[in-house]
Every structure is written in structure tokens, then in C-alpha cells.
Structure 1
Amino acid sequence: MSQAQVSDDDIFGGHEGGKLSVSATRPITQARDLSIAYTPGVAKVSRAIAEDVTLAKRYTWTDRLVAVVSDGTAVLGLGDIGARASLPVMEGKSVLFKTFAGLDSIPLVLDTTDVDEIVETLVRLRPSFGAVNLEDVSAPRCFELEEKLKAALDCPVMHDDQHGTAIVVLAALRGANMVLDKSIAEQRVVISGAGAAGVACAKILQAAGAGDVTVLDSKGIIHSGRDNLNPVKEQLALTTNTTGLRGGLADALSGADVFIGLSSATIDESLLASMAPDSIVFALSNPDPEVHPDIAAKYASVVATGRSDFPNQINNVLAFPGVFRGALDAGARAITENMKLAAAEAIASVAADHLAPDHIVPSPLDPRVAVEVANAVAKAAAEDGVTAD
């Protein structure tokens, strides 16, 4: 059934009562089971953990539990709708963790937008989970929040809107370049949008060796000397746009090899016509891409969107389940840049056998993806020395 055929009744019916429940891993059918699972037997396990806290990893679920955390300030394309309204999205994220990576997770929506309060809350809750997936936190607060959490917690922390998107974008670009026999080192990439996803995409593409990356916000190209840049954009201005472009999207796209849309801006097709031959267009805004894929295909050799009803869907579900599974499998204390790059390579490798202009990434439903990503991430974690001793 396509997205257009899903009725409101289907949607609301699929959410009624929530999408999650807790199930027991061992049955309780007799008195002996009860005495083991709860009192008096459980006291022995609690005493053992009190004497050696590392035993909590073995005798509780925390080592495999991901906290899906949001303050509801940047939910999908809906914006700042608050913590309670964000909960269906967080529940859905937990469903995806279980479905694709076999990981338990719990949605935690916090009724505060204060970064320090969120950090303090999660520090106090740390004994209850093994990793943190930040979700739908507005920029630029999301950058500060992630950095402070990474410093405060001794477990994997990742803001999926940033890094999940960036990982899959890099994987898709790898696939597109294999189809077109191009090298990322020779490409000029234009990113429209300097929010969470745009900034992370710029960083990972640079780490992957992109020839040049130019980022635009609502006021145009980000460049050194531009007024009113926040600290995140100031850093972008120092590391991107090596050719020194000024102006707007028309100036950025002229002769560009790759366009990545991560904003609500629309693009006139005349701008696509100015791009380099065999260009690549990723129009990722949802639900309405910056340019319709059929129009983009008139000028670009490879086109991708964030939608499931067009080819080449760039979907974060290709990344985050395997990233967290690999990090937890390895006992990682953090998620490093190399782990993200390894995840992108793994996603691209799954698509490699059947590459085509309309198949540059695997299907989100491909069962191989999370396994390959988890294995690659765990290996990179060990190489980076962030695993448990």
C-alpha cells in the first residue's frame, strides 16, 4: 500500500493505545518462577550488583536499552509542538529499534527546553539505560546538548537528526558515485540548510574527502566575514566554501556536482540546469522535496528524496538501528567519527550488488543492512579504542 492509499482511520488506528508494550523474557507460571523473578530471589541479584555495579550489565536490561530522548522542539516538519505531541514519533523510533536491530528502547520526552536541565535529568537516569538517541531537538541547541551529554555520560550518545541523516547521505553519495564512476574528492557539494542535518552532512562529507562543500542558510551562502553567524555557522564558514563563493543558491549551484536539500526552500529547475554534467540531486525535505523528482531527473543523472514513494529513499532507519546495535555489541563508551564513516560504507556495500541510478541505497526493509552496519561499527569502535576493557 502506498503512502497515498493510507487513510486517516488506518493511521490513527495504528497508533491507538500506543505502539509499545513491555513483555517478559521469562514466563511466570508457578511459585518457583515468582520467587526467582521477584522476592526473595531478586534480592540476591540486587546485593551482587550493590557489591559490583558492573554486574548490572549482565543481570538487567540496561546494557541493551536505548533511551530515545526529545524535548519536542523540532518534530519532523511540524516544528516546536511540545513533548507530549512528540511522543508518537519517539514510540515509533523505539519500534524501529526493536524491528531492525532487536534492541529495546524507551521513549523519554522531557518537559523542558533547557539544555542543562536535560543533561542533569539524563545523568540522574544513567543507571537505567545503555545509550541515548537524541531526537527532534531544535538547532542550534541540539549541538550544545549533544556535546554536553557526550561529556557527561560514559555511554554512546547520538543525535539521529544530525548523524543518522549524514551517514545515509554519505552512503547514498557513495552509491551514486559508483553508478556514475565519479570520485567524491573531485566533487563540489552544495548543501541547502544549516540546521542539524545540514551541519552534520557537511562535516561527514568533509571527513570522507569531498572536494569542496558549500552550505547555505536562509540568508545565503555561509562564508567568512558574513554578519550574524552563530558559533556553529562561524565554524562552518572557516571549514567550508573553499572557493570563496558569495550570494545565494543560484551562485552556489552554478557548476556544482551535487545538491543536497535539507531545508524547506524550493528550487527552480533553471538552477539545476546550471549544474555540472552528470549531476546528483538529493531533495530530502519532507513531505515536499525542494524540487519534484521528475523535474530533477531532467537535469540530474541520479535523484534521491526522503520519501518512500520515489526511488532512492534516504531514510535514517538505514543507519541508526545498526549504529546503536554495533556500539552496544562492542561495549563502546562513545560513537566516534570513524564509526559513522564505517556505517556509511556498510550501507553502501549492501547496495553494491545491484547498483543503478534508481537504486543507490538499499531498501530500509533489507534485513542485511542493520547487521552489516552493526558489524562495521563494532569493528571501528574497537579500532578507535572506545570499547570496554
Structure 2
Amino acid sequence: MNAPVSPFVSAAQAALDYHALPTPGKLGIAVTKPVNGPEDLSLAYSPGVAEPVLAIQADPADAYRYTAKGNLVAVISNGTAVLGLGDCGALAGKPVMEGKAVLFKKFADIDVFDIEVDTKDPREFIDTVARISPTFGGINLEDIAAPACFEIERALIERCDIPVFHDDQHGTAIVLCAGLLNALELQVKRIEDARIVCLGAGAAGIASMRLALDLGARRENLLLVDRKGVIHTGRDDYASLNPEKREFAAEPSERRTLAGALAGADVFIGLSGPDLVRDEWLMLMNERPIVFALSNPVPEIRPEVALKVRKDLIMATGRSDYPNQVNNVLCFPFLFRGALDVRARVINREMKIAAVQALAALAREPIPAEVLAAYGLKSLPFGPEYIIPKPLDPRLRDVVAPAVARAAVASGVAQLPYPPPSRLHTA
């Protein structure tokens, strides 16, 4: 006799069914013009399509007028750092890239082609992406392992005349720093004075420390920690470290372990792995500490453990089931929306800072009733358990994207004013 089948479907099977049924994948392509008869067909293709071809040949900027380029982003990966799963390969990373595309469309109405490039060679990857870049209005690099990700992004920014953005670096850094500014305010501390320890010297860790410096942190107050301890100029392997790690190397001192680094620290940022921080180490930190344990799904230290030993801390994680989730979806759709709206050539320092400040400011505003209802909450005031906006907050697009667009215009990298001509009010 067969065993009874459980009426409950496992979470893993539910995820597989979601992606498989009723149509495989999470994306489709929609036609935006009528194709109902021979007249439409002659306009959509031959002979009518020759007219925009000739117009674009005469003036490449007309591609933004006659094609979907201006609202089309490529989400591109080689699958070498997929989520927390590691080097899964280009094809296995495709569900993540499709997921990214869904978020772009859902939150910012940006169309996306996901592209998986089957190479681990940075030069091959760079050449491939650069050659297909005319198709797009922007490029979002995703799930590419460090240190190759730094070389890839840097080279593509130089070779392409559209925004190139590695979300694992800068998206994380922007949301993290927005929460950090608010946490510092609540803890009555200044970023200029804060002693910051970052565990994790990969893409997100390096980008977060760079952005913290742009926001006013002082280099002498930063300690970057990798698997071998604090990165400092006296380490035996210093000469073999990649340039990004050496950029944050401290002077030699007795603070060479994570525990030593946390002694007297104001801020701990974890972008590394599960359960790497002992609860007793938190006791070494300054009063009113800030702990961002962002390893996902298992944080460097769990909030219930951390709060048991430090009642005075403010904590964030990468998980949705704890307060203060550092989630990249708060950033990348709206950053690209702002960049595309003014046809920015790059995403620069000023645009990233504008996104940080907009996110931080939004969290200080009263939260709408619809957001409270979505999360099953009666209230959520700005405070230790609410330092970053919620991903379903509909104000994000109206706050973050314009801030980014204005920063692009002010910094001279935009090709259109803000609001762009199509959205300017006329008398």
C-alpha cells in the first residue's frame, strides 16, 4: 500500500513549481504596437522599418526615439557568485537574473533582457558585454565573483557610453549606508567619528567602505577583515593581496583578529558568512553599537543572540523576517529609473550619494497605511527597528529616482534635463 501523500508542499517544491508552472520562467515579451493587418505589418517590418534605420544611421541618438533602448537594461552574469551558492555557472544563474528582471519591471517599469555569459575569463566577459551594449540603455552586472568583478566593471564603464552598475557592490553599499546613517543618528554618533569594522573584503565589503568614505567616514577609523584577520600592511601576504584589499590596509597594530578589531568599535558590518561573530565579542564594542550582520540566510550573529548581550544596539540583517532588512531592491530599480530618465552616461559618486540620502530621509517619514497593512503592522515609527524603508513602499520610485536623476544633471553626466522634456509641465 502506498504511503499517504502529505497535503503540504515543501518550500523547495513550491519554489520549483512557481518557476515551472504554468509557463517556464518568470519573464515574457510584450508587443507595444498594433500588428493587426498588412498596414501595421508594413510599418513594423519591411518596408517601413527602413525609415528609423536610416534615421539612427544619421543620428545614433535617435535610437532612443525609435527603439526600446532607452528603457531597456541588461542584467548580465557569468554565474561565478550566485547568491550565497557560489560558482554555479552561467546557466544555473539564469533564474536569479530573471528574478532581477522581474523586480526591475515590477518596481520601476524597466524592461530587461537577462544575459548569461559562459566564461570566467574577465577579458572575454568584458569584450562580450561591450559588443552587445548598443542594444541597451544600461547594464546591471550581477553575481560575478571578486576580484574579477572590479576589473570587469571598471573596464565596461570605460568602454560603454551607458550606465554600468555592479549591484552586488554598489546596491548593497547604498542600502547599507542609508541604514547606517540613520542608525548613527539614533545612536547619537557621527560617521566622521565612528570606528567601523567590516568583516568581508569582497565586492560588497569594498564598495561599502568606499561609499562610507564618500559620506564622511575617516580612513583611519576603518578596519577591513578577511578570512585571515585584519588587513594591514604588515601581513605576510600583503604583497599578494588584490589592489582593492590593499586600498584599505591599516597600519600594523595589535588589533589583528576580528575580536581585536571589535574592541572599541562603534559599527560592525558583516558581509561574510554565518555565525562568525561570538556574542562575547559584542561586549567589546563601544556603548550604543551598530551591528549589520548581512550574511544571508544565516547572519554572522543572529539578532536574538546579539540583543541578549547588548540591549543598547541597533541591528540590521539581510533577512525579511527580522527588522531592518538590507535589501538591494530598495536601490537598483530606482537608481536605474533615475539614470534612464535623464539618459545618464554613467552612474557616478554623486548619484550613489543621492540614493543613500533619499533612502535615509524616506525612512524618517511617517509610513503609509498601505505599507503597514502589507506587512501586518499597526505602526512602525522611525527608530531602532525601522531605519530603512520597506521594499513594498510605493514612495521609493517617487523619492529615490528623482534624487538620482537630479544628481546626474547637477554632476554633468545627464543628456536630458530633469524632469525630461516629455514630463515637463507646460502652461
| Contact kept in structure 1, 2:232 and 2:252, CA below 8 Å | no
1:387, CA displacement in angstroms? Answer: 1.4
1:244, CA displacement in angstroms? Answer: 4.9
Aligned to 1:29: 36
1:219-234 equivalences under 5 Å are: 219-228=228-237, 229-234=241-246
Distance 1:323 1:158 in 2: 10
* 1:96 is the counterpart of 2:103: yes
Letter in 2 for 1:254: A
Distance 2:105 2:398 in 1: 13
* 1:340 is the counterpart of 2:344: no
Distance 2:178 2:254 in 1: 27
Aligned to 2:14: 10
Task: Name the SS for the 2:305 alignment partner.
Answer: helix
Question: Judging changes above 3 Å, is the alpha-carbon distance between structure 1 residues 369 and 81 closer, same or farther for their aligned structure 2 residues?
Answer: same
Aligned to 2:139: 132
- The one of 98, 103, 112 equivalent to 2:119 is 112
* 1:297 is the counterpart of 2:324: no
1:28-67 equivalences under 5 Å are: 28-67=35-74
1:298-337 equivalences under 5 Å are: 298=308, 299=310, 300-337=312-349
Aligned to 1:186: 193
| Contact kept in structure 1, 2:234 and 2:251, CA below 8 Å | no
Task: Name the SS for the 2:247 alignment partner.
Answer: helix
Aligned to 1:256: 265
Q: Provide runs of 4+ in structure 1 moved above 6 Å.
A: none
Give me the identity figure in percent: 50
- The one of 403, 408, 412 equivalent to 1:385 is 412
Distance 1:245 1:18 in 2: 52
- The one of 218, 222, 227 equivalent to 1:213 is 222
Larger radius of gyration: 2
Distance 1:245 1:348 in 2: 35
Structure 2 residue ranges without an equivalent (≥5): 1-8, 366-380, 417-427
1:6, CA displacement in angstroms? Answer: 7.1
Compute the TM-score of the two structures, normalised by the length of structure 1: 0.95
Task: Name the SS for the 2:316 alignment partner.
Answer: strand
Distance 1:47 1:54 in 2: 12
| Contact kept in structure 2, 1:319 and 1:370, CA below 8 Å | no
Aligned to 1:153: 160
CA-atom RMSD in angstroms: 1.7
Q: Which moved more, 1:323-332 or 1:225-234?
A: 225-234
Letter in 1 for 2:346: A
Aligned to 2:247: 235
Distance 1:139 1:357 in 2: 32
1:177, CA displacement in angstroms? Answer: 2.0
Q: Which moved more, 1:125-134 or 1:172-181?
A: 172-181
* 1:367 is the counterpart of 2:377: no
| Contact kept in structure 1, 2:223 and 2:248, CA below 8 Å | no
Distance 1:67 1:53 in 2: 19
Aligned to 1:279: 289
Task: Name the SS for the 2:49 alignment partner.
Answer: helix
Letter in 2 for 1:10: A
Compute the TM-score of the two structures, normalised by the length of structure 2: 0.87
Aligned to 2:368: none
Question: Judging changes above 3 Å, is the alpha-carbon distance between structure 1 residues 245 and 372 closer, same or farther for their aligned structure 2 residues?
Answer: farther
Distance 2:78 2:203 in 1: 15
Residues 48-99 of structure 1: per-residue CA shift (max 9 Å, x gap): 2222221111110112111111000001110001000000000000000011
Question: Judging changes above 3 Å, is the alpha-carbon distance between structure 1 residues 245 and 53 closer, same or farther for their aligned structure 2 residues?
Answer: farther
| Contact kept in structure 1, 2:316 and 2:323, CA below 8 Å | yes
Question: Judging changes above 3 Å, is the alpha-carbon distance between structure 1 residues 322 and 242 closer, same or farther for their aligned structure 2 residues?
Answer: farther
1:119, CA displacement in angstroms? Answer: 1.3
Question: Judging changes above 3 Å, is the alpha-carbon distance between structure 1 residues 167 and 225 closer, same or farther for their aligned structure 2 residues?
Answer: same
Distance 1:145 1:225 in 2: 29
Task: Name the SS for the 2:113 alignment partner.
Answer: strand
Hey, which of these two has a bigger chunk of helix by percent? 1
Question: Judging changes above 3 Å, is the alpha-carbon distance between structure 1 residues 80 and 202 closer, same or farther for their aligned structure 2 residues?
Answer: same
Distance 2:286 2:99 in 1: 39
Residues 282-323 of structure 1: per-residue CA shift (max 9 Å, x gap): 110011001111111231521110001111100000011111
Question: Judging changes above 3 Å, is the alpha-carbon distance between structure 1 residues 275 and 243 closer, same or farther for their aligned structure 2 residues?
Answer: farther
Question: Judging changes above 3 Å, is the alpha-carbon distance between structure 1 residues 276 and 243 closer, same or farther for their aligned structure 2 residues?
Answer: farther
Distance 2:58 2:150 in 1: 37
Equivalent residues, number:
383
